[in-house]
Structure 1
Amino acid sequence: MTVHEIDRRLGAHIAADELPGLAWLVAIGDDVTTGAIGHLDAAGTTPVRTDTIFRISSMTKPLTAVATSILIDDGVLDPAEPVDALLPELADRRVLANPAAELTDTVPANRPITVDDLLTFRLGWGMDFADFAPTPLDAAWNDLELGWGPPTPARMPAPNTWLARLGTLPLRYQPGERWLYHVGASVLGLLVARAAGRPLSEFLADRVLRPLGMADTGFSVPAEKLARFSPHYAEIDGARTVFDPVDGQWSTPPAFEGGGDGLVSTLADYHRFARMLRDGGALDGTRILSERAVTAMTTNHLTPEQLARGGPSPDGSAGWGYGVGVQLRDLPDGPRAGAYGWAGGLGSIWSTDGPVIAILLTDQSWGSAGPPPVFATFERILGELARTADPL
């Protein structure tokens, strides 16, 4: 497959006005190729570049899992230990008698929430991909402004306030019972901060970002880099609308550093992160994680019963490691069994399949029905490349 072919197939979605612009990266071993198509602005005057900074939303989750795994490597955290000592707000949990019950209809938790529960998203809170029917817990979540839906860092309460509010709510399911999306990563960010004795951003910068040379990744974009930052769009009532401008919510450091969805990054930065994982936890002679930690991150932890009740993919083809989705079987038009990665609802996706790393960053959110067609095209490209692993 040629670079021109990738540009042609992805560019067709820009030409169809499905989204304003995108940047892509494909690495096969040490052979790295990038491209940028379309524009940052709806008027079509500012082209996307390969060094454009994008909001990566849920592609933040793998970095938070790496930060947690570093603390496990350091002996500061243990996956099996309860989080009560560091997060006392979450001790002595009550659990809803059933997921749709009133908040007062509860039973005691069978056991405490553990670090492993947070990493595997089995703490008992989160989005149920198998059932989106509104519940009293959802209403209370919104009333407490705990964050549900697209990331809004400037509107989130300070970490201790957020955690105190969270602690007033019962769990939806017993700890360890079900995979539920997102909330585990938000709580992990706070756990890392308390375990490290400093903000999540500082720990990430010291132990992950600077050692890997990820100079453009963080929870906000400094003024001197805003010229490379993309505005972000969403489809609302059939019209493309600015969700967040360049000088919007990511232009200043947030009070709440969202471990599940708060980071911005670039193709080059995220590629360095992905290379580190692909190469067993080290990059260019700098070790970030032990090989054991990488294996734990990229191995499915969900049971067949949990996958049957609702996991990361509707068809059950993907499980969950620590902060990443793990492919359990080959997809005919996509990644193979053993591939891992994750995507972000603000329009981003990363996958590592054998020697192949593929990253797509865009400036438009997914719709309510899921990712736009360009993502299916990108996954087909990844699948074709992974099956041949020929240089571009």
Structure 2
Amino acid sequence: MLSTMRLRRLRDVLTGYIERGEVPGVVALVSRRGQTHVEAIGTTAYGGGRPMSADTIFRVSSMSKPVTAAATMMLVEECRIRLDDPVDPLLPELADRQVLRSMGAALHDTVPAFRPVTVRDLLTFTWGFGQLYAPPDAYPVLKAAWELDIGMAEPRPRAMPDQDEWLKRLGSLPLMAQPGEQWLYNTGSDVLGALLSRATGLSFADLLRERVFAPLGMGDTGFSVPPESLDRLAHGYWNEPAEPLDTQEEWTTVPPFFSGAGGLVSTVEDFFAFGRMLLRDQRLLSRPALELMMTDHLTPAQKVLPHWVPGEFATSGWGFGGKVTTRRHDLADTPGRYGWDGGLGTSWRVDPAEEMITILMTQRAWLSPEAPPILRDFWTLAYQAIED
């Protein structure tokens, strides 16, 4: 059970963030064993906007990754793709990879890849290429990737080329590491979107709509916002003091590239439906597939992250498209808890042991890779509400 008194504490603390101007509004959901509590506080914009509600639309950015992983597992179950098969037949642009001798090497200073990239490599982010926690010009390969507009920063789907051109540009770069060698963030989910599109003959947007969003009733989730729903899209902000992230209209047109890593918009209601599917409320995936998806697949060597945030996997690992808690360190750290965050201000987790779903959506982008105070407080407040 969830304590009504303790849930009031959640509302009080979140209200404080709004009163201090740290966020203009927030929607939070805590659900456990059939009991669901939603708080919608504040407005969709500083100085105005609509009142927040459970159907407010947010840029969920990297919360797209678990959705992409779930769609991948659907095709794995149908034997249309296989976890340990090379991706080369469907993605010839990524065949016969060359790998940098070191991260700082010149683009031509490479050796052949020891083996092809597999679907499993993409799901676990160990395929050899990704975002780095470093300035754009820190390494020749990173500078080249930024210049090619292949998605090395916050989601800007309309700044990216179409799928075929994106693959061509990505394939022109060497890998940063050997396949299977280390965890590198983000890009694997974008490659998966392209892989699924080619495997099915559908655009990645149509595939997600037909196979995931429509069956689960996720009617407000997609890669753009219909003009008639634009007033429900929360305004995005970043920096300190807050500055507009982009224009609302930027999200009303279909982008040239459907980013499986960070391109979705969604609502608390919709992601609640997705979470219930992972907790087996609806059977889009078998129990073994869900368990595999939410299992830590990283080796100790792969968890050494020289180009990312130190300690990222001190108490966790990486499943397929999301983080998996491996040992208790804080109130919310139930082993087996799975999910991921959106750096533009959102977070989502499912906890099979507690049969619990937690979602927080704001519209203030993170200022660093470390979760902001409002999110850390939300996780504490959600789990302190457990009464049994």
1:326 and 1:339 in contact (8 A); partners too? yes
d(CA) in 2 for partners of 1:23, 1:203: 28
Cross-structure match for 1:296:
292
Which of residues 230, 242, 249 is equivalent to 1:226?
Answer: 230
Which of residues 321, 336, 339 is equivalent to 2:337?
Answer: 339
Cross-structure match for 1:275:
276
1:1-392 matched pairs, under 5 angstroms:
1-2=3-4, 3-128=7-132, 134-235=138-239, 238-247=240-249, 249-279=250-280, 282-283=281-282, 287-309=283-305, 314=312, 316-353=314-351, 354-368=354-368, 370-385=370-385, 388=386, 390=388
1:336 and 1:383 in contact (8 A); partners too? no
d(CA) in 2 for partners of 1:309, 1:242: 32
d(CA) in 2 for partners of 1:269, 1:46: 19
**Normalised TM-score (structure 1):** 0.93
Which shows bigger deviation, 188-197 or 305-314? 305-314
What residue ranges of structure 1 are gaps of 5+ in the alignment? none
Displacement, 1:144?
1.0
d(CA) in 1 for partners of 2:173, 2:293: 29
Q: What is the percent sequence identity of the aligned residues?
A: 43
d(CA) in 2 for partners of 1:256, 1:369: 25
Which shows bigger deviation, 300-309 or 26-35? 300-309
The C-alpha deviation readout for 1:184-242, integer Å capped at 9, x for no partner, is 0010110011011110111111111110111111101111111211111111xx32111
d(CA) in 2 for partners of 1:183, 1:256: 13
Give the match's secondary structure for 1:34. strand
What residue identity is the alignment partner of 2:323? G
Which shows bigger deviation, 374-383 or 148-157? 374-383
Displacement, 1:90?
0.2
1:334 and 1:380 in contact (8 A); partners too? yes
What residue identity is the alignment partner of 2:340? W
CA RMSD of aligned residues (A): 1.8
1:352 and 1:358 in contact (8 A); partners too? yes
1:130 and 1:309 in contact (8 A); partners too? no
d(CA) in 2 for partners of 1:154, 1:219: 10
Give the match's secondary structure for 1:269. helix
Cα distance change, pair 136–220 in 1 and its aligned pair in 2 (3 A): same
**Normalised TM-score (structure 2):** 0.94
Give the match's secondary structure for 1:305. coil
Displacement, 1:127?
2.5
Displacement, 1:246?
2.3
2:29 and 2:36 in contact (8 A); partners too? yes
d(CA) in 1 for partners of 2:179, 2:94: 11
The C-alpha deviation readout for 1:243-289, integer Å capped at 9, x for no partner, is 12322x2111111000000111111110010011012xx51xxx211
What residue identity is the alignment partner of 2:348? W
d(CA) in 2 for partners of 1:106, 1:381: 49
Displacement, 1:4?
2.1
What residue ranges of structure 2 are gaps of 5+ in the alignment? none
